[in-house]
Amino acid sequence: MSATATIEKPETKQAVSELDQLKRFTKVVADTGDFATLKEYAPQDATTNPSLILKAAQMPTYKSIVEKAIADNRKSGATGEALLVQIMDDLLVLFGIEILKVVPGRVSTETDADLSFDAQGLVAKAHRFIELYKQQGIGRERVLIKIASSWEGIRAAEVLQREGINCNMTLLFALPQAVACAEAKAKLISPFVGRILDWYKAKAGKDFPPAEDPGVLSVKEIYSYYKKFGHETEIMGASFRSKGEILELAGCDLLTISPQLLGELKNGSGTVARKLEPAVAKESKIQKLPLDEKKFRWLLNEDAMATEKLAEGIRVFNADAGKLKQYVAQRL
């Protein structure tokens, strides 16, 4: 060795976070209306709902967005309830536009919860959102219209999908809802993992480990069904209560995750193993479920958890939309 030779120190490998490992085989979506969070965790897409927009709208950082929605719609000449409805629609879209400046993919914008049993009303609201986005130069390919997975909501999605308007079917708690959404060719479904767990915890009076979590098992069943029968509808696990639930669904098409759990994943350095594989799912022994409206309503009625959580979810989103409307009205 020459006198001038140097001995190189071995490089120290930096641990890859659980979040980055998860992103290798699952599209990560941020469940928030807070743009700062989006920048921090670099998700592909983002989802919003009335509860998240209500929370964001009350933050001083986003006061200007609320003021813009009010100012722009005052010029329309509308008054009273009509003005409030216009402002609410505009506000949801303005938040969506800001989100799309941060995420490279899509944003989900939620329809009014009180339209959940009105197929025509849902189609009209979706057209309104798409037009508002278009006016701001945003193409429909970057927008998912969120609709509750009621029978009427699924029928609205069927119409919209034929028009090239993609839908995110939310408040989904059971296989019959998932099958009906897939047969309507909905772009995406959002099974609510944590809310399913909440119901079973309350009934059983005990907690469940992630591998036995009823919400996790529900998504695994839907995943197996879709892959076995060739449905192209994307599955996006949602409403998580713990990091363990998320890791049990590693490999799902998409997972929408709250800021708190994104933080836990980013700070975690454990090994993330893929739990859901299309090839394995295709070999599952799950049976095909024939559905029409009568069968759908009967099976949903027989599932107390799905019936109760769907109804509760619609009520909660409607209540938060009402609070958001009140917040806006106070500023008019």
Burial group, residue 2, by CB count within 10 angstroms (0-12, 13-18, 19+): exposed
Q: Would you state the pLDDT for residue 251? A: 98
Pick the closest to residue 107 from 94, 90, 125, 118 (CA basis): 94
Q: Which residues are tagged catalytic? A: 146
Q: Would you state the pLDDT for residue 71? A: 92
* Cα separation, 175 vs 194, whole angstroms: 16
Q: Residue 304: beta bridge partners?
A: none
For the chain, what percent of residues have pLDDT higher than 90?
86
Burial group, residue 307, by CB count within 10 angstroms (0-12, 13-18, 19+): middle
Structure token pair of residue 213: 């979590």
Q: Could you tell me the sign of the dihedral formed by the alpha carbons of 202, 30, 182, 127, in that order?
A: positive
**How confident is residue 35, by pLDDT bands cut at 50, 70 and 90?**
confident
**How confident is residue 14, by pLDDT bands cut at 50, 70 and 90?**
low
Burial group, residue 12, by CB count within 10 angstroms (0-12, 13-18, 19+): exposed
Q: Kindly report, residue by residue over 225-279, the tens digit of the pLDDT.
A: 999 999 999 999 999 999 999 999 999 999 999 999 999 999 999 999 999 999 9
Q: Kindly report, residue by residue over 80-128, the tens digit of the pLDDT.
A: 999 999 999 999 999 999 999 999 999 999 999 999 999 999 999 999 9
DSSP class per residue in 248-289: HTTTSSEEEE-HHHHHHHHH--SPPPP---HHHHHT--PPP-
Q: Would you state the pLDDT for residue 13? A: 55
Domain positions in the chain: 22-331
Q: Would you state the pLDDT for residue 15? A: 82
Q: Would you state the pLDDT for residue 50? A: 83
**How confident is residue 76, by pLDDT bands cut at 50, 70 and 90?**
confident
* Cα separation, 301 vs 295, whole angstroms: 10
Q: For all residues of the chain together, what is the average pLDDT?
A: 93
What integer is the mean pLDDT of 160-183? Answer: 98
- As its CATH architecture, domain 22-331 has Alpha-Beta Barrel (3.20)
* Cα separation, 280 vs 242, whole angstroms: 25
- Specify whether the CB–CB gap between 329 and 85 falls below 8 A: no
The position carrying tokens 């109760």 is 308
Q: Would you state the pLDDT for residue 52? A: 86
Q: Kindly report, residue by residue over 50-70, the tens digit of the pLDDT.
A: 888 888 889 998 989 999 999
Q: Residue 239: beta bridge partners?
A: none
Q: Give the three-class secondary structure for 170.
A: strand
* Cα separation, 218 vs 210, whole angstroms: 12
Q: Would you state the pLDDT for residue 70? A: 92
- Specify whether the CB–CB gap between 232 and 203 falls below 8 A: no
Pick the closest to residue 148 from 170, 166, 179 (CA basis): 170
- Specify whether the CB–CB gap between 23 and 122 falls below 8 A: no
Task: Quote the pTM value.
Answer: 0.92
